[in-house]
Structure 1
Amino acid sequence: MRTVQFSGILLALSACLFSCQKHSLSDYNYHRKHFKNILDLKGIPVTPQDEHLSSFSDLGSWHSFGLPKDSDKAAFGGFTGPFVMRQQESEWISPELLKLTLHDPVSGKAIALSEGKLIKNDFYPGILQQEIKVEDLKISLSLFFIDERTAFLKAKIHNQGEKRELQTSWKGKIFSQDDRAIRYKSKGLYIPIAKEEAVEVFFQEKGKLITSDSLAYHYQHTPFTLFRNGFWEESLLVRFTLSKEERKRSPLQTATILKQGDTFEIQNEERWDKYFKTLFKTHRKKALLSAQLHRTVAAKSLVTLIHNWRSAAGGFQHQGIVPSYAAKYFQGLWAWDSWKHAVAIAPFEPELAKDQIRAMYDYQNEEGMIADCFFRDPELESVNWRNTKAPLSGWAIYEVFTETGDSSFVRELYPQLKKYHYWWYTYRDHDQNGICEYGSTDGTRIAAAWESGMDNAVRFDSAVILNNQTKGAYSINQESIDLNAYLYQEKVYLTKLADILGITEDGRRYQKEAKELKEVLKTSFYHAKDGYFYDRRLKTKKPIRIQGPEGWAPLYNQIADKGQAEGVVKVMMDSSKFNTPIPFPTLSAAHPLFNPQKGYWRGPVWLDQAYFALKGMQYYGYKDEAIDMAEKLIEAADGLTSNKPIRENYHPISKQGLNAKHFSWSAAHLLMLFK
């Protein structure tokens, strides 16, 4: 706690802020202050499992906070939470753990913040801010993250009236959960969560614990005098640590950290402004959408990825981006998602992008297979080795290299990528004809469908699982066009990566294989009458004439010839099939099993597949059509241009958002449209 007196500095800062606000958005001088409340993070949880609320985190933290609603006057003086993210057990620890309260020590009367005027109660990218005017006092609070375990809360009181005596306190409570209780430590609180995890609170100055029970506390400071135009300030830390070892090792002493709030806040602002400077570069000729024209969508997409950033811990040997913090079942890393997240975040956080790829390769077995997904808690047997995911890591590695120029990263991952690429031909090529199938390690068809990433797609309804000659390897009895298109493109990327490393012999091999595979896919998987690419039966080689996004994979991966691309684009632009109110559903709207409300991959629009469609159109000269479809998509999808969360997928007819909120790969592919 400290008090300081008014000086001309405040007036200078105010003048600067006024000057900064006069800049037009058209100047492209974007600052986080331009994006106030682009996500609605307001509301107080009623139960630990309250799932309708959103929250804010940063720097890979595993805990987050929100804001009370403007009408929640009883909550003025604090922030919602924390919310802690755990495998299948994510929960709100408290409705409001840290609430500032004031009273007059002379009269003994409380100074009720609930009776004050709420000036500010806002989320800006990277920070929460609240400001209340009560009597002659202006109370300001801000909360932001300073590392992957620590949130920093700054509180300030400005006395705009006559000299007065004040006394401050912090109050809070936690939800009743098992045997959980608040424990008091010198200058802080300790709340055990589960196993070795704990939430810790550190106050800047030692106070007095007035009342305490297992679920509530009241921490009171010594009275002080605040002169006219004087300030009182205090800082707090809120840490969510995951082990005893983490609580023992701290890069700086807590007392030192608490004194550096201004420095940390400046660093936070500079980092976020750098993100926006990168995001809103002058218009890129190859971009399908303008970030300047769709700045809310662009900024919200970036914020969504940062909010889903999780640091290394437990089964996470490297940091990464989870699919959605808001869905308990998505607190892990998935292979397909990870490749997409890495490409999108690379311009902003290149080390995170590299680690996102490394994290998945940490789960590569001796044969070369990469696990489908894994979670933080290794004790829950939470690594899925039943299947892998479609091969997009070569794309991710190359895109990260183009952003960073880091050839050492390529050298590090190249042997593992090569091993994974050829794993497909050993374990997922039933008849050894050089054309692969989706499959599983446990002999189940459902895991084979998961391997495609399109879990319940109609094209797999009649598929049968087959035992391959290699032990522990199974394939379905159909050769998928998207899988082999991705494998073709991976050969192209392997050629480029080999060239970067000077491995010419490997490069020649990949080029030869790519040329041969491309010819087979063009001649054997395209149905001229329908103008579309299809999967085909393994034995009979007959096409499985179900139109889904797999059919435009040859355009995205630049396999189709000009005439074939024309046929596919014609199908994509057909309003009875894929040019729906939100374009590019995952099953043709003309199919009798089209069911977006319940279908998951039987109709909803997934933005990764929409991106592949749009880029495929662009590659073959249909850029104007692609731009029109991209504009149509983001304008139609419910909430994309407002402060609603980005969804896992969207209903192509009603336009409503479906399934998980704050979904990372949707955000990732939106960002790619601006790239």
Structure 2
Amino acid sequence: MKNNIIRLLLLSGVIAGFSACVNGSQKELAQERTRYEFGNILDIEITPDSTTRRVGCFTDAGSWMGFTIPQQDKWVNGFCGPFSIDHRIWFAQSAVVAGLIGETSEMTPDSTSYFPGEVYMSSVSADAKIDQRMNFIDSSTALLQVETNSEKGLCFTGKQWSGSVKLEVERNVLTARHQDGEIITLTFDSDITLSCDGKNYIAQTQPGCKKTDVAISFFVSEKELPAYEQRVQSLLHNPSQELQANADRWNGYLQKILRTDMKPEYDRIAVKSIVTLISNWRTHREGLLHEGVIPSHAVGYFVGFWAWDSWRFSAALAGFAPELAKNNIRAMFDYQLPDGMIIDCIYTNSAENNARDSKPPLVCWAVDEIFTHTQDTAFVKEMYPQLLAYYKWWYTKRDHNQNGICEFGSTDGTLEAAAWESGMDNAIRFDNTQMLKNAEDAWSMDQESVDLNAYLAYECKLLKKFAALIGVKFDGPDYSDKVADYFFDEKIGWFCDRRLKDGSFIEEPGCEGYTPFWVQIADKKQMEKALVLLTDTAKFSTYIPFPTAAADNPKCDSNGYWRGPIWLDQTYQAIRGLRNYGYNDLADQYTEQVFERCQGLKEDAPIHENYGTHDGKRLQAPHFSWSSSHLLMMYEDYGK
């Protein structure tokens, strides 16, 4: 059913491509990619009820609202929603249900699809058809276009409004105010007849009208409405320019990322990754002072910005949405503390921010990726003092014995927050860790971590690069030349954490050992020794390669969060590490295992937080930005 419309839209996309490129070369035309090549990119079919809270949806342009496609067996003749992504509420099961004036027979599903940046649905009755498509115009408004082949005229109503919503009508605008302060408006064409009894509304076109548009807008507060009203009315008067901008933006994303030498199914993985990142884009709101990307819009506890998540997202976004990548970094630095610390995570309600810990330092990598793609030295200059202050903070607050080798820690002395700071909350290497006090607001684990110090060595290298770019002197500590040898355990041939009390190695080989190869501080001999474990099918060369703990460790748990499952950032770092040392064929082989074996990756399943090591099963949070970012990086590197 879904594929019927895909063929039609793909053909229309090809025709549009020809007309848009009349003056272009045949080579340029052949390379143009459009979103209509990628139908049903993600399965977001759900007809919600009042209990539905964990849901992946169609959202774009930084909006805080989303929509789903109704299930075929629970059909509603309208896109479901809006859903408030921050407050996790449905304003209605469907705020705009389409029908025909005087039609008594029910409209049944014909076809649906989710294209990058657009959702589509069609329905039929005995003698008529209704097509509906939706695009986000900006962070506030989605435009619904409705078209029929019937002469009867179109009519609309809502279905199952929330009991916490109050409805009222003025002219051609229905306003739905939720008791939590959020508001949606439905703005219809000016010649439509609109009435409301306080519980629901009815809107009707003139008989014979075959096409009309509805603007669905979302606002955080009442004060936003007056300034936006004129813009929405203008949009309905002439939507073509805004719709073209939407198409250009999405096709531009694809043009910047997609390669001409990849399998179609690998292109699909790359596009799904882009869609996931953009669907997790949120505009500035309340305590979030810049726009940015959340880990997952589908899971309530992930609706905020996290530090090292943000660095990863920005590194991936740099190639196709660099301004979003920059603001994603600025959002975290808005809350930099006077001592230089970047706190763990921030939310719309800043009272919920977590300043008990930081996160692994990867931000210079993200800034460098942005610079690589944009050559924007102004951004480097803007960020440099803050980057340097954060880098120095580690050596001031997280080096217990002042030997130039840092530890993960916390501001409150708790091991819980220190484990969060590592980003690997329950990793096996922390099983016997204790906390040591450095200062009133600074505590360290009693072990020095290889990944932390490898990241700091990389940050140091990049800070020196940035200093040279903007003509200043780097004046931070530099211990980068001692990290690799300090953490390499010759006995087992792996990079391991070390205990502060006696310098002994914590011989629990895990994904932290990939990091020195990714940042290229290991020497060739260390890679050759580590390759024994890396390629051992009982340890790290598993069905999905490079788990978070050696698979033969008795403590390894295939569903143990950071105690065994696959996290794709770590898998990426191991694969990129192999490339860094000349093992490109092996790196490609492992990339293929990821692309081919992670459950649902080539199909329409959402990208997940982590995957089963031995079966590729999808585990925690769906629609996950972190995994999507690193899939894009693997796609970019593959075959090179």
- Superposition TM-score, scaled by structure 1 size: 0.88
Instruction: Choose from 501, 526, 529 the match for 1:539.
Output: 501
RMSD: 2.4
Q: Which runs of 5+ in 1 are unaligned?
A: 1-9, 105-109, 284-289
Contact 2:90/2:162 (8 A) holds in 1: no
Q: Does 2:490 correspond to 1:528?
A: yes
Instruction: Choose from 115, 118, 121 the match for 1:130.
Output: 121
Task: Tell me how many residue pairs correspond in the alignment.
Answer: 621
Matched AA of 1:149: S
Partner of 1:287 in structure 2? none
Measure how far apart 1:491 and its partner are. Answer: 0.5
Partner of 1:4 in structure 2? none
Partner of 1:34 in structure 2? 37
Contact 1:48/1:91 (8 A) holds in 2: no
CA distance in 2, matches of 1:296, 1:311: 26
Deviations 1:176-228 (A, max 9, x none): 44x433233332222222443212211113544556353x332334x43x3xx
The 3 A distance-change label for structure 1 pair 616 and 382 is same
Deviations 1:303-347 (A, max 9, x none): 000000000111110000100000000000000100000010112
Q: Does 2:308 correspond to 1:347?
A: no
Q: Does 2:289 correspond to 1:317?
A: yes
Measure how far apart 1:457 and its partner are. Answer: 0.5
* Alignment of structure 1 residues 441-480 onto 2, 5 Å: 441-468=411-438, 470-480=439-449
Matched AA of 2:355: W
Partner of 1:570 in structure 2? 532
Instruction: Choose from 79, 96, 99 the match for 2:97.
Output: 99
Partner of 2:405 in structure 1? 435
Partner of 1:638 in structure 2? 599
Secondary structure of the corresponding residue to residue 343 of structure 2: coil
Instruction: Choose from 361, 370, 387 the match for 2:357.
Output: 387
Measure how far apart 1:277 and its partner are. Answer: 0.8
Contact 1:191/1:198 (8 A) holds in 2: yes
- Superposition TM-score, scaled by structure 2 size: 0.92
Matched AA of 1:487: L
Measure how far apart 1:353 and its partner are. Answer: 0.4
The 3 A distance-change label for structure 1 pair 291 and 342 is farther
Measure how far apart 1:394 and its partner are. Answer: 0.8
CA distance in 2, matches of 1:120, 1:494: 53
Partner of 2:247 in structure 1? 269
Deviations 1:557-597 (A, max 9, x none): 11111110111222111111111111111111111111122
Partner of 1:5 in structure 2? none
Secondary structure of the corresponding residue to residue 522 of structure 1: helix
Contact 1:280/1:292 (8 A) holds in 2: no
Contact 1:102/1:112 (8 A) holds in 2: no
Partner of 2:465 in structure 1? 496
Instruction: Choose from 505, 514, 517 the match for 2:480.
Output: 517
Partner of 1:673 in structure 2? 634
* Alignment of structure 1 residues 6-45 onto 2, 5 Å: 16=15, 27-45=30-48
CA distance in 1, matches of 2:80, 2:28: 31
Q: Which runs of 5+ in 2 are unaligned?
A: 1-8, 20-25
Contact 1:97/1:171 (8 A) holds in 2: yes
The 3 A distance-change label for structure 1 pair 482 and 258 is same
Contact 2:270/2:631 (8 A) holds in 1: yes
Contact 1:184/1:190 (8 A) holds in 2: yes
Deviates more, 1:619-628 or 1:167-176: 167-176
Secondary structure of the corresponding residue to residue 42 of structure 1: coil
CA distance in 2, matches of 1:252, 1:61: 19
CA distance in 2, matches of 1:158, 1:208: 20
Partner of 1:143 in structure 2? 134
* Alignment of structure 1 residues 388-403 onto 2, 5 Å: 388-403=358-373
Partner of 1:114 in structure 2? 107
Instruction: Choose from 658, 661, 675 the match for 2:622.
Output: 661
CA distance in 2, matches of 1:85, 1:411: 34
Partner of 2:545 in structure 1? 583
Partner of 2:6 in structure 1? none
CA distance in 1, matches of 2:196, 2:215: 21
Contact 1:337/1:665 (8 A) holds in 2: yes
Matched AA of 1:114: M
Measure how far apart 1:84 and its partner are. Answer: 1.1
Partner of 2:154 in structure 1? 168
Contact 2:44/2:69 (8 A) holds in 1: yes
Contact 2:13/2:36 (8 A) holds in 1: no
Measure how far apart 1:350 and its partner are. Answer: 1.1
CA distance in 2, matches of 1:17, 1:113: 34
Partner of 2:3 in structure 1? none
Instruction: Choose from 324, 329, 335 the match for 2:307.
Output: 335
Measure how far apart 1:47 and its partner are. Answer: 2.4
Contact 2:45/2:71 (8 A) holds in 1: yes
CA distance in 2, matches of 1:16, 1:398: 39
Contact 1:485/1:554 (8 A) holds in 2: yes
Partner of 1:81 in structure 2? 81
Partner of 1:370 in structure 2? 342
Secondary structure of the corresponding residue to residue 528 of structure 2: helix
Measure how far apart 1:17 and its partner are. Answer: 5.9
Partner of 1:217 in structure 2? 201
Contact 2:345/2:354 (8 A) holds in 1: yes
Instruction: Choose from 65, 68, 88 the match for 2:67.
Output: 65
Deviations 1:254-304 (A, max 9, x none): 321111222222221111111111111445xxxxxx475611111100100
Contact 1:48/1:93 (8 A) holds in 2: no
CA distance in 1, matches of 2:336, 2:606: 33
Computing the radius of gyration from Cα coordinates, the structure with the larger value is 1
Contact 1:534/1:546 (8 A) holds in 2: yes
Secondary structure of the corresponding residue to residue 629 of structure 2: helix
Secondary structure of the corresponding residue to residue 289 of structure 2: coil
Secondary structure of the corresponding residue to residue 210 of structure 2: strand
Measure how far apart 1:111 and its partner are. Answer: 5.0
Contact 2:112/2:120 (8 A) holds in 1: yes
The 3 A distance-change label for structure 1 pair 48 and 463 is same
Contact 1:28/1:280 (8 A) holds in 2: no
The 3 A distance-change label for structure 1 pair 625 and 56 is same
Deviations 1:609-637 (A, max 9, x none): 11111111110111111110111112111
CA distance in 2, matches of 1:627, 1:398: 25
Partner of 1:7 in structure 2? none
Measure how far apart 1:28 and its partner are. Answer: 4.2
Secondary structure of the corresponding residue to residue 649 of structure 1: coil
Deviates more, 1:458-467 or 1:242-251: 242-251
